[in-house]
Amino acid sequence: MVEWIISEGLTDYTAAETVMEDRASAIAAGTADEAIWLVEHPPLYTAGTSARPDDLTDPDRFPVFTTKRGGQYTYHGPGQRVVYVMLDVGRRGHDVRRFVQQLENWVIGTLDSFNIKGEIRDGRVGVWVARPDKPLTASGAVPEDKIAAIGIRLRKWISFHGLSINVDPDLSHFSGIVPCGITEHGVTSLVDLGLPVSMSDVDVALQRGFESVFGPLNHADADRFALR
């Protein structure tokens, strides 16, 4: 059974990493259930294992954390739903590529709940949306903006880190980095796309989307989880 945990308020990033790693170790040892943990963080940047120093364009703007997840630089902050995914990928077939595709499908299904078409692009990690409301690019193409990021790590076939969806963050905060190392595309959010949705609305859609991709959930108390 997978526990579904939602933490209120802003969660300290270093504390979240500790909780994630401890939980992943416990799952690997067979002493804890798998878990999905939904949080918001105070404004910060994180650097994945492929991050390039030049992509941190404003290093003094917010705290910067070096992480063990895959990927490059990203921003976390209020108005963004961060989803930490602690699942047994080994039990799910030892197929990392398929697991990442499942995460992508989960995000795409969540966006579809709001009539937003999320898409995957070769060579660009994350989930993207077309922006026909914006001027065409120099090549004459419809612009695309990133609405969700995905970056995981596996230890003993247990995943940790996860994904984030921009609900209503301050999009100007992404200007302190080159998000995921991609310069030619922008970022967007559900509210930026004209949807007056709340974080709770997104959480409901995330839950339904998860169960359609991964199976049933067990709800847990966030305080009890955080103390493990």
Give catalytic residue positions. Answer: 180
Q: Is residue 84 annotated as involved in ligand binding?
A: no
Q: Is residue 72 annotated as involved in ligand binding?
A: yes
Contact criterion met (CB below 8 Å) for 42 and 79: no
Q: Is residue 81 annotated as involved in ligand binding?
A: no
Q: Is residue 76 annotated as involved in ligand binding?
A: yes
Q: Is residue 151 annotated as involved in ligand binding?
A: yes
Q: Is residue 91 annotated as involved in ligand binding?
A: no
> What is the Cα–Cα distance from 127 to 146, expressed in whole angstroms?
6
Q: Is residue 123 annotated as involved in ligand binding?
A: no
Other C-beta atoms within 10 Å of 55: how many? 18
Q: Mutual orientation of helices 199-214 and 96-112 as an angle, nearest 10°? A: 140
Q: Is residue 79 annotated as involved in ligand binding?
A: no
> What is the Cα–Cα distance from 195 to 111, expressed in whole angstroms?
11
Q: Is residue 219 annotated as involved in ligand binding?
A: no
Q: Is residue 161 annotated as involved in ligand binding?
A: no
| Ordered strands of the 73-76 beta sheet | 64-66, 44-47, 73-76
Q: Is residue 140 annotated as involved in ligand binding?
A: no
Contact criterion met (CB below 8 Å) for 222 and 7: yes
Q: Is residue 69 annotated as involved in ligand binding?
A: yes
Q: Residue positions in the annotated binding site?
A: 69-76, 149-151, 162-164
Annotated binding site for substrate: 69-76, 149-151, 162-164
